[in-house]
Structure 1
Amino acid sequence: MTDQLGGEGPARPIGPNPRGPYDEKDAPDDNVRRLDLRSIRIPVPAWGEFLVDMAPDDSIVRLVHWQTPLGRFTVTAYAAPSSNGLWEQVIPELMDGLRQDCRTVRREPGSWGDEVAATMGDRALRFVGIDGPGWMLRGAMLAPPATVQHSASALRDLLRGTVVARGADELPDRTLLPMQLPPEMAARIPGVPKDEAGLRSFGVL
C-alpha cells in the first residue's frame, strides 16, 4: 500500500515525489501546500486541525501538531552532526524513556531505518527519525490501535514531504531548530484561547 495522508474514504497523497524529506537547497517545486514554520515546512493534510504549543509568554513556538482522523502527528527538526547518525544514537534513549509509561516498546524496520513503536494505554505511539545534512527530522504519532498501520503510513508521508531549513546558526547537536508561525497566524495568537492541554487550535488550514 502506498503511504498516504487522508481521513475517511480513499487516502490522499501529499505529493507525487516520494524521495523526501528534503534539505532546503533541494526543495522540490511540486505544488504541495506546506505550512512554513521557518526551520521546517510541513505539508498541510487534507483533513485536520493545527495545534500550537507556545511558551507561557507566547514568544516561542515549542511544538506543533496536526490532529487528523488518523491520529495526532508531531514533526520536529534538530541540529545534528554533518556526518549524520544521530537518530541511531537517540533510539536507545527514547526507548528507555518510553518504558516508564508504555506497556510495550520495540524497534521495527522502517523506510529510513529503525522506527520505535510503543503502546501507551489505549493508544499506539510511533517515532520515525531521519538523518539529513546537519539536521535530524523526527516524526511522532499518537493514534488508535485500530488505525495504526494507516496512521504510520500517514506519518511517513508527512515526513516525506517535509522541507528542513537548517539555517547557518551554530547550534549544539540535538538542539531543537527554532520554529516561527507565519505572520498572519502569529497575529491571531492573542485571540485564540488555550485548551486544557495548553494548546491553541487554528482549525483546518
Structure 2
Amino acid sequence: MFGWGRKRGEREAADEALSAEEAEVVEGGPFDSGEAPDDEVERLDLGSVRLPVPEGGQLQVEVDPAGPVRAVHLVTPVGRLTVSAFAAPRSSGLWTEVSAELAEQLRKDGARVYAEEGDWGPELVADSPNAALRFVGVDGPRWLLRGVAAGPAEHAEECAKLLYAVLDETVVVRGDEPLPVRTPLPIQLPEAILRHIQQAQNNGQQG
C-alpha cells in the first residue's frame, strides 16, 4: 500500500560512500519531531508517529468499537510489526520498568523470555507457541517508542532486522499536551485510510 521511500540498498550504498569522519556525525532514529531529518524517506503520518512502510507491507488497523484506533500493524511477508508511542516522564526513561513487567507477563503466559542487548539498549525476545516475538524500546524526550516484531520462528531474524529499519526512520510527535505516564499517544489515520475502513465496515453490514 505504501512504499519504503528510498530502497534500503540505496541507503546502504550512500552510507558506505560516507567518509569515516562523516559517518560519525550521522545518527539514526527514531527521531523526535523537533529533530526530524529533512530526507527523502516517505513516511505514513499517523499523528503521534510517522512510519516508513516497507516495500510490500500492508497496513492492518485495530479500531475500538467506540471509535478510537487501538493499534496499527505493518504486515510483511516475514511477520507483523507494531510500533506504538507512549507518554513518558521528562526526567527518566521508562523502558527498563516496562520491559521488566512485560517479561513477567510473558512468562506467566507460558513464553520463554530472555534479554538481548541491542542498538537502543536491552531488548526482549520471547518464544511462544504461536510466534517468535521481539520487543524493542526507545526512550525519547517525554516519550517511549515500543516496537514489536511477531512472526514464525524461521523468519525471526529477518523480521527483527525489518523492525530495526522501521524504528530507525520513525518520527515521534509527542505534542505539548500533559499526559499521564504510559498513556498511548493518539493515533490519527489519514483520510484515505479512514474512508477505506468505513467502506469496508458498510459493506460488511450490508452483507
Aligned to 1:47: 56
Letter in 1 for 2:72: V
Shift of 1:187: 2.2
Percent identity for Structure 1 against Structure 2: 46
- 1:14 and 1:89 map into 2 onto residues whose CA distance is 38
Shift of 1:193: 4.3
Deviates more, 1:11-20 or 1:159-168: 11-20
Shift of 1:14: 9.1
Aligned to 2:41: 32
Letter in 1 for 2:58: E
Q: Could you report, residue by residue, the CA deviation over 1:103-141 in whole angstroms, capped at 9, with x for unpaired residues? A: 311111111000000011152000000000000000001
- Structure exhibiting the larger radius of gyration computed from Cα positions: 2
Unpaired runs of 5+ residues, structure 1, are 1-5, 195-205
Aligned to 2:23: none
TM-score by length of 1: 0.84
Q: Could you report, residue by residue, the CA deviation over 1:160-200 in whole angstroms, capped at 9, with x for unpaired residues? A: 11000000111001000000101222122221249xxxxxx
Aligned to 1:167: 175
- 2:92 and 2:174 map into 1 onto residues whose CA distance is 14
Correspondence 1:77 to 2:67: no
Aligned to 1:65: 73
CA gap 1:30/1:151 in 2 versus in 1, 3 angstroms: same
- 1:92 and 1:99 map into 2 onto residues whose CA distance is 11
Shift of 1:101: 2.2
Aligned to 2:163: 155
Aligned residue-pair number: 184
Shift of 1:49: 1.1
Kindly report the root-mean-square deviation, in angstroms, between the aligned alpha carbons of the 2 structures.
2.0
* Structure with a larger share of its residues in helix: 2
Shift of 1:13: 5.6
Letter in 2 for 1:137: L
Correspondence 1:140 to 2:136: no
Unpaired runs of 5+ residues, structure 2, are 16-25, 203-207
Within 5 A, what are the aligned runs for 1:177-196?
177-193=185-201
